[in-house]
Amino acid sequence: MSPERRRVLLTMCLALATVVSTVASLNVALPDIARETGATQTQIQWIVDAYALVFAGLLLPAGALGDRLGRRRILLLGLAIFGLASAAATLIDQPGALIAVRATMGLGAALIMPTTLSVITSSFGPGERDRAVAIWAGVAGGSALLGLLVSGAVLEVFSWPSIFVLNVVLAALAAAGTVRFVHEGRAPERPPLDAGGAVLSALALTAIVWAFIEGPQRGWGDGLVVGGFAVGIALGAAFVAHELRREQPMLDPRLFLLRGFGAGSLSLLVQFFGMFGFIFVLLQYVQFVLGYSPLEAGIALAPMGVVLIGVSSRVPRLIDRFGVRRIGPPGLAIAGGGMAILSTLGPDASYWHLLAGLLVLGFGLALATTPATTAIVESVPAEKQGVASAVNDASREVGGALGIAVLGSVLAAAYSSSLGDALAGSGAPAEAVSRAQESLPAAMAIAERIGPRGADLATAAGNAFADGLSVALLVAAAVMVAGALVVYLRGPRSEVATCPSVPSAVPPS
């Protein structure tokens, strides 16, 4: 790899890490934000979710804009929006304004993330592309975990706005590297902008992600949640019909019939279902049950990120030797095994028990992520790399939203049921039992106020939360193992990730 290309790769990985790490950073700072801004639980939820909602909804249009208007230009625009919004967040002390700023950051992130991958795939030749994509994939998976470590350390010294200062610094460095090292790139014939497809895809993804976000809060049978899914599916069908009629579609739906493109997208959906859901539930476990501080939580999970990034760079050699079908699906199955190990954690588990599951999970995800991304980007011609990258990222975001919603809901239901059984016949007031079943922090707060009996309540709540964690991670393990089987059956049959039939599936641009 030449020094020039190495600098391009480093810049794109820095821009990617800027986007990915911000989610983990915010999660660690949420308790301080709630205390200092007076945000309600609903507002806290939307401070997190406004970013994900806008991000996921605009990924496909943003990728298409990069193909048409120039990837370097769109990347710089995204970094500017992201950096300025992060700077504005440091001056805000009202929850509503912070939600709006987070939504604006989601817009910037949507312009950044798919563009980083399309710059890499268009800048590197076949001999180097696989390794570059592998490093990108490792950074995409590991940045969230390493972000926990950095943000935890920062919060030990500074207040919560410091995490947004970190975003500003990273965005500025990435922008400077982009100006210095990245050349402009776009589709050779500048395909016409598909405004109808952009609007339909954005609204469809937004509706579906919104329903996933609201499902655990409102209940999966709630009319608004069901309506959100229905609207999203209807708009998705309209998007498919619209794209099939166009001579030059933004995203040809027939691409998903290709083994590499379809299996790669499904694999990423399943991976990030498990990974984002795992981070969401395990962070609560290590802080609320094991008593780790934010910094200790970051240090505890960091080895998984190190394994993910370190192993990912070596996966291309395995792909060259064995093919994506023999590497990716086993990686998913191994990651499911890591989830199964973590599901056996108890209320007084040792760190070595936790570490064993983290290392297996990180190794499995490292094997699975690179083949999935490689299969997607090598399934389409160079002029469609922006859209291919956006599909890659949309699979991650929708899978992540689904994982947080489903595993969070499973954890909450199992915790409530287990704690209710433990407190049955204890003589505790019904109102106190009901409030304790709402969340573990609520149970701990009640335990501090009720005197000598509080120790029993705290113990029961910790045991109940560990039970809920076990059920949630077993669900994640089952989904990942089932996904491994489907991806193996639908994966490319050739020993390489390319799909020669793609040109006939995508109208020439």
Q: Reduce the secondary structure of 368-436 to three states and give it as a string.
A: HHHHHHHHHHCCCCHHHHHHHHHHHHHHHHHHHHHHHHHHHHHHHHHHHHHHHHHHCCCCCCHHHHHHH
Query: Where does the pLDDT of residue 361 fall: very low under 50, low under 70, confident under 90, or very high at 90 and above?
Result: very high
What average pLDDT does the segment 158-174 reach? 91
Say yes or no: 284 and 379 in one domain.
yes
Domain membership of residue 435 (yes or no) is yes
Q: Which amino acid is at 343?
A: S
The tokens of 263 are what? Answer: 């299996």
Cβ 24 vs Cβ 304: under 8 Å: no
Domain membership of residue 188 (yes or no) is no
Domain membership of residue 331 (yes or no) is yes
Q: How far is CA 389 from the centre of its chain?
A: 15
Report in angstroms the alpha-carbon separations of 364 from 305, 328, 400. 12, 9, 17
Rounded CA gap, 1 and 138, in Å? 18
Q: Which amino acid is at 326?
A: R
What was the pLDDT predicted at 52? 78
pLDDT at 499 over 90: no
Domain membership of residue 187 (yes or no) is no
What average pLDDT does the segment 7-25 reach? 88
What average pLDDT does the segment 24-47 reach? 76
pLDDT at 498 over 50: no
pLDDT at 342 over 90: yes
Q: Could you tell me the CATH number of the domain that includes residue 102?
A: 1.20.1250.20
What was the pLDDT predicted at 501? 39
The tokens of 213 are what? Answer: 């976000």
What average pLDDT does the segment 468-472 reach? 92
Domain membership of residue 369 (yes or no) is yes
What was the pLDDT predicted at 35? 76
What was the pLDDT predicted at 11? 94
What was the pLDDT predicted at 506? 38
Number of domains in the chain: 3
Say yes or no: 25 and 67 in one domain.
yes
Residue 6's CB: how many other CB atoms inside 10 A? 13
| Interacting residues of 407 by C-beta distance below 8 A, sequence separation 6+ | 277, 278, 280, 281, 472, 473, 475, 476
What average pLDDT does the segment 187-215 reach? 78
Cβ 12 vs Cβ 168: under 8 Å: no
- State which of 220, 245, 270 marks the end of a domain: 245
- State which of 160, 182, 204 marks the end of a domain: 182
Domain membership of residue 89 (yes or no) is yes
Domain membership of residue 250 (yes or no) is no
**Percentage helix, strand, coil for the chain under 3-state DSSP, each rounded to 5:** 85, 0, 15
Picking from 311, 403, 396, the residue whose alpha carbon sits closest to that of residue 20 is 396
Picking from 51, 55, 75, 103, the residue whose alpha carbon sits closest to that of residue 202 is 55
Say yes or no: 259 and 239 in one domain.
no
Average pLDDT, the chain: 83
Rounded CA gap, 423 and 442, in Å? 15
Domain membership of residue 190 (yes or no) is no
Cβ 106 vs Cβ 51: under 8 Å: yes
Say yes or no: 142 and 6 in one domain.
yes
Say yes or no: 400 and 465 in one domain.
yes
Per-residue pLDDT of 56-69, as tens digits, reads 778 778 877 877 78
Say yes or no: 77 and 207 in one domain.
no
Say yes or no: 382 and 414 in one domain.
yes
Say yes or no: 10 and 159 in one domain.
yes
Question: Which pTM does this prediction carry?
Answer: 0.77
Rounded CA gap, 31 and 159, in Å? 11
What was the pLDDT predicted at 432? 67
Say yes or no: 200 and 292 in one domain.
no
Say yes or no: 219 and 289 in one domain.
no
What was the pLDDT predicted at 41? 57
Rounded CA gap, 224 and 211, in Å? 8
Picking from 503, 276, 252, 494, the residue whose alpha carbon sits closest to that of residue 375 is 494
**Stronger pLDDT, 401 or 505, i.e. the higher one:** 401
Say yes or no: 265 and 237 in one domain.
no
Per-residue pLDDT of 85-125, as tens digits, reads 999 999 988 889 999 999 999 999 999 988 888 888 888 87
62, 180, 370, 1: CA torsion to nearest 10: 150
Say yes or no: 204 and 109 in one domain.
no
**Stronger pLDDT, 213 or 81, i.e. the higher one:** 81
What was the pLDDT predicted at 336? 95
What residue numbers bound the domain in which 137 lies?
1-182
What average pLDDT does the segment 7-15 reach? 92
